[in-house]
């Protein structure tokens, strides 16, 4: 298996989450991860990165187990004679 990498997107104050893209070889898995907030309610970037690293361990395990895989390409639409 390839090494798992991730990219954290911008904090969404409304959902209190960050979008994360996990990549392992040809497998790309996107999901939101709950952000960590400080006592005053502001976004804690460092603690959120640590949380994403924990989630990444679970994503890596699911990839190894075959639960998360590369999606099959969608079949191309074939035009019919009536179109």
Q: What does the domain layout of the chain look like in residue ranges? A: 4-65
Host H or E run for residue 52? helix 45-65
Q: What was the pLDDT predicted at 72?
A: 79
Q: What was the pLDDT predicted at 83?
A: 55
In sequence order, which residues have a C-beta less than 8 Å from that of residue 16 and are 6 or more positions away? 34, 35, 37
Do 4 and 55 contact (CB within 8 A), yes or no? no
| Residue found under tokens 């074939």 | 78
Which residue numbers in the chain have pLDDT < 50?
A: none
**Rounded distance between C-alpha atoms, residue 47 and residue 7, angstroms:** 15
Q: What was the pLDDT predicted at 32?
A: 98
pTM of the model: 0.83
């Amino acid at each position: 298996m390839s090494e798992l990498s991730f990219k954290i997107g911008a904090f969404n104050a409304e959902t209190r989450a960050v979008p994360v893209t996990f990549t392992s070889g040809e497998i790309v898995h996107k999901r939101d991860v709950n952000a960590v907030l400080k006592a005053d309610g502001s976004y804690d970037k460092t603690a959120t990165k640590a949380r994403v690293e924990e989630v990444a361990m679970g994503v890596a395990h699911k990839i190894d187990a075959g639960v998360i895989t590369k999606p099959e390409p969608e079949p191309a639409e074939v035009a019919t004679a009536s179109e």
